[in-house]
Structure 1
């Protein structure tokens, strides 16, 4: 029997709450009006995570639950959050079909292919930052799979959140790299599903590409030591 969208979203929200708590955040599920700042009084986000001066507004959606009205709601919410320093909007998509290779896939990109395409992504970033972000993330994700394979990290599913979490848990990537990747994944989700954002910068794309290149170096070292 197929799992409902609501169940998938709830399970993913619980996983995110655990991840944020492990990073020292205080988590509020479906926050009340008293828990929301004035600029968010007209919204009911799925979750808020707070740590010091940082705050993350989190929405978890599946493709089936994204209607035109919900897209507009999320667009307005993202724009409201972006106007306030220290606040960040995170849209997380949960789709079980994304956790397996599609039938059209002919296998993951290999190291030399990723290296060549990362240079294209750098060039793309100067004029088309949104396209560069989508392309850079796809290459970073391929690099993550490659290093996981060469490091012997057991990956039970291909969900990018899960993949990044496994690699930081295994010590393959640092906490700072983990945060950059999670921020980039959040932005990737916003752009990939048709929302606007002003948070994409040349620096954010460069950081993502730098991490992908570092992952490839780790992968080379692991492969040579086998």
Structure 2
């Protein structure tokens, strides 16, 4: 029996497959080894789509299914694909809000996992800034929860807007950091809900990643950001 997360990822994969078919692509679900080029013979991607000389390797993940092992796998897969002309890697993040999290059962990413996954976010930024901002935003929330825990703040919920407002009100993050996060949130929401946006640039995503790295450093220094 599939878990809610697996169902969510599968539904997103099926929707992507339909979108690519409508654009004239040939779709391979969980391709067999014989359908893969030699440089991918150590990988089992969720889907490959092809049209003419264009080949796309697609992985669909949700925040709750990411861990150190999957993060390393995705990073290696992205590097393997990007070395070959006519091939590109696409990581699609399902909407984290589609999954219900219990306050007691929540198992947030830890610092070393966030640092590791930031490397994948940086790789995605080069070619897929939309996917990168979804990925990065999940790391923002995990980082902010760690900071709230360190500051011994009581959180009534994990809603991102509530979390950001709580931390700026308590003086834990600066107003400039608050503004960057609040500017990024609607862009993240637009992408997560399937709306187009032309405001995402590589530099914008890098700013968000740099903020995450800066916030992670405060966990060691003990200094309040601001």
Deviations 1:35-79 (A, max 9, x none): xxxxxxxxxxxxxxxxxxxxxxxxxxxxxxxxxxxxxxxxxxxxx
In structure 1, C-alpha distance between the alignment counterparts of 2:222 and 2:107, rounded to whole Å: 20
In structure 1, C-alpha distance between the alignment counterparts of 2:163 and 2:106, rounded to whole Å: 20
Residue 221 of structure 1 is matched in structure 2 by 221
Structure 1 residue 182 corresponds to structure 2 residue 182: yes
In structure 1, C-alpha distance between the alignment counterparts of 2:123 and 2:144, rounded to whole Å: 22
In structure 2, C-alpha distance between the alignment counterparts of 1:178 and 1:98, rounded to whole Å: 25
Residue 125 of structure 1 is matched in structure 2 by 125
Residue 209 of structure 2 is matched in structure 1 by 209
1:1-226 aligned at under 5 Å gives the runs 100-101=101-102, 107-222=107-222
In structure 1, C-alpha distance between the alignment counterparts of 2:222 and 2:99, rounded to whole Å: 27
**Normalising by the residue count of structure 2, what TM-score does the alignment of the two structures yield?**
0.52
Supply the RMSD in Å over aligned alpha carbons.
2.5
The CA deviation at 1:99 is 7.4
Going from structure 1 to structure 2, the CA distance change for 1:99 and 1:207 (only over 3 Å counts) comes to farther
In structure 1, C-alpha distance between the alignment counterparts of 2:151 and 2:160, rounded to whole Å: 17
Deviations 1:154-189 (A, max 9, x none): 211111000000101111111111011011111010
Residue 42 of structure 2 is matched in structure 1 by none
In structure 1, C-alpha distance between the alignment counterparts of 2:163 and 2:216, rounded to whole Å: 16
Deviations 1:79-128 (A, max 9, x none): xxxxxxxxxxxxxx9x7x8774389x761000001001112101110101
The CA deviation at 1:220 is 2.4
Partner-residue secondary structure (3-state), 1:171 = coil
Partner-residue secondary structure (3-state), 2:127 = coil
